[in-house]
């Protein structure tokens, strides 16, 4: 377990987890690596390789036990516990995130939201009261927050990111369309929805070229 | 150019494009593959490999000409033209997308939005009037739409997807937290924001393990 895990493997684990939850709901007890990868377009050897990075889960010829493998992946991904998530920026994207039910379902609770717009500070998003971003450091020093979502404009993202990293935050989901420059101890995922559309336009211009 | 292009390469092209646009704005004329990959954490050999799939762009020892490479990548990704995008579902996520300025900036115009909620049909999101999803096939037969964004609940996504594919749509960005089963001629990107948070929780549980 000392070796590094490819990010692509981590993202696939999330997809295996969803497939297993679906199959468990259908009452399925065991599944082959072929079946597990099928819907996601992953080969059986890739599935086996991904899972082998974390231990030995299946029985040769019998496949993987569905509920047990699901529980193991939940443990690996940290889905068997609650995570406290902070949000900076309650514009259109940020507001949508506060209402996104899938987060809570999977154990990710947005516990605090900040903005710098005086008209938004004090207003509510569901149960959350929007706080002044000026108070972010004070809040993070007093309350435990595991990860932050940044949904702020591009020209403010770096400054806000440095501030929360200075308060000990080590995991950031960044919606601003820029690459943050942060110490390597901070894990950042960039969520850039334009890039997703660019993959679509590429696919339309280069039919059947994406593998 | 007959070979398949890895999806990861396509997504990196989007990132190179952004970096080049930024550097062009700073007046930089040439860039090395090392510098181009640097901020994104990509090695120089990966940059060269990615670009070589599309042609020969740089000069050995001199690097890549910034404005020209940017223009070439824009062409490869289809960013030198306008794309007509349709949206199904104007809940929290869908509404946020209609207001997401980066789409329009990059040439992706949401030209139509549908919903099945009678209270939403006829209401406006910016300049867009929300239409009845019952009229989607009629609309898609009359108007040109290049790609669709699905921001509908999980239990409706497959049905809606099949409907738009039946009208000739070949590129879909899916926000519903399920994997769509569609013919291989359709290119689908799943945008699952929970999966991004799961990568963060994994990183917090397995410090320095992601490469």
Does A40 sit within 8 Å of B6, measured CB to CB? no
pLDDT cut 90: percent of chain B above it: 66
* Average pLDDT of chain B to the nearest whole number: 90
Output the 3-class SS for B90-118.
Answer: CCHHHHHHHCCHHHHHCCEEEEEEEECCC
Nearest Cα to Cα of residue B151 among A87, A124, A93: A93
Tokens of residue B210, six digits = 């992601």
Indicate the SS3 state at residue A150.
strand
Does B78 sit within 8 Å of A102, measured CB to CB? no
A78: region left, alpha or beta (phi > 0 left; psi from -120 to 50 alpha): left
Does A206 sit within 8 Å of B5, measured CB to CB? yes
pLDDT cut 70: percent of chain A above it: 95
- Taking the Cβ of residue B23 and every Cβ of chain A, the question of whether any pair is shorter than 8 Å is answered with no
Size of interface A-B (CB pairs under 8 A): 213
Q: Is the pLDDT of residue B43 over 90?
A: no
pLDDT at B209: 62
- Taking the Cβ of residue B109 and every Cβ of chain A, the question of whether any pair is shorter than 8 Å is answered with no
Angle at A189 between CA A183 and CA A194, to 5 degrees: 130
Helix and strand element counts for chain A (H, E): 9, 9
Q: Is the pLDDT of residue A102 over 60?
A: yes
- Taking the Cβ of residue A203 and every Cβ of chain B, the question of whether any pair is shorter than 8 Å is answered with yes
Indicate the SS3 state at residue B133.
helix
**Contacts with A, B 62-81, CB within 8 Å:** 76-79
- R_g (Cα) of chain B, nearest Å: 20
Does B96 sit within 8 Å of A179, measured CB to CB? no
In this complex, the residue of A14, A204, A211 whose CB is nearest that of residue B4 is: A211
* Closest-CA residue of chain B to A174: B196
| B72: Cα separation from own chain's centroid | 18
Average pLDDT over residues B55-68: 86
Tokens of residue B89, six digits = 């579902």
Q: What share of chain B is helix, strand, coil (3-state, %, to 5)?
A: 45, 20, 35
Are the folds of B7-77 and B83-195 the same?
no
- Taking the Cβ of residue B144 and every Cβ of chain A, the question of whether any pair is shorter than 8 Å is answered with no
Q: What share of chain A is helix, strand, coil (3-state, %, to 5)?
A: 45, 20, 35
- Taking the Cβ of residue B203 and every Cβ of chain A, the question of whether any pair is shorter than 8 Å is answered with yes
Angstroms from A92 CA to nearest CA on chain B: 5
Report chain A's terminal Cα–Cα distance, integer Å: 30
| Helices within A145-192 (DSSP H only) | 154-166
Tell me the per-residue pLDDT of A44-73, one tens digit each, with 9 for 90 and over. Answer: 888 999 999 998 887 777 889 999 999 999
Average pLDDT over residues B161-184: 93
ipTM of the complex: 0.89
pLDDT at B117: 97
Architecture of domain B7-77: Orthogonal Bundle (1.10)
pTM over 0.90: no
* Closest-CA residue of chain A to B147: A200
- Taking the Cβ of residue A53 and every Cβ of chain B, the question of whether any pair is shorter than 8 Å is answered with no
Pick the CATH number of B83-195 from 3.30.465.10, 3.40.50.1360, 3.40.50.720, 3.40.50.300: 3.40.50.720
- Strands across the sheet with A83-88, in order? A124-125, A128-132, A108-115, A83-88, A147-150, A171-174, A187-190
pLDDT at B39: 65
pLDDT cut 90: percent of chain A above it: 66
Indicate the SS3 state at residue A130.
strand
Contacts of B126 (CB under 8 A, 6+ apart): B98, B99
Q: DSSP class of residue A176?
A: S
Q: Is the pLDDT of residue A103 over 80?
A: yes
* Closest-CA residue of chain B to A203: B187
How far apart (Å, rounded) are the C-alpha atoms in residues B114 and A63? Answer: 43
Q: Is the pLDDT of residue B64 over 60?
A: yes
Average pLDDT over residues B147-160: 95
pLDDT cut 70: percent of chain B above it: 95
> Which residues of chain B neighbour A158 with C-beta distances below 8 Å?
none
Q: Which residue has the tokens 């894990």?
A: A187
* Average pLDDT of chain A to the nearest whole number: 90
Is the Cβ–Cβ distance between B72 and B103 less than 8 Å?
no
Beta A128-132 vs A124-125: how paired, if at all? Answer: antiparallel
Domain ranges (residues) in chain B = 7-77, 83-195
- Taking the Cβ of residue A101 and every Cβ of chain B, the question of whether any pair is shorter than 8 Å is answered with no
């Amino acid at each position: 377990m000392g070796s590094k895990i490819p990010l692509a493997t981590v993202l696939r684990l999330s997809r295996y987890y969803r497939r297993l939850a679906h199959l468990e709901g259908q009452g399925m007890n065991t599944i082959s690596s072929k079946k597990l990868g099928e819907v996601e377009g992953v080969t059986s050897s890739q599935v086996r390789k991904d899972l082998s990075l974390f231990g030995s889960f299946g029985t040769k010829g019998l496949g993987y036990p569905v509920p047990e493998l699901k529980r193991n992946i939940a443990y690996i991904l940290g889905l068997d516990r609650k995570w406290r998530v902070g949000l900076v920026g309650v514009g259109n994207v940020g507001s949508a995130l506060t209402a996104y039910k899938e987060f809570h379902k999977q154990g990710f609770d947005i516990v605090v939201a900040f903005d710098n717009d005086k008209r938004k500070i004090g207003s509510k998003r569901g149960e959350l009261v929007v706080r002044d971003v000026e108070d972010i450091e004070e809040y993070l020093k007093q309350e435990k927050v595991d990860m932050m979502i940044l949904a702020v404009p591009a020209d403010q993202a770096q400054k806000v990111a440095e501030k929360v990293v200075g308060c000990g935050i080590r995991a950031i989901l960044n919606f601003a369309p820029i690459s943050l420059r942060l110490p390597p101890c901070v894990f950042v995922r960039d969520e850039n929805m334009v890039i997703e559309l660019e993959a679509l336009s590429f696919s339309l211009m280069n039919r059947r070229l994406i593998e």
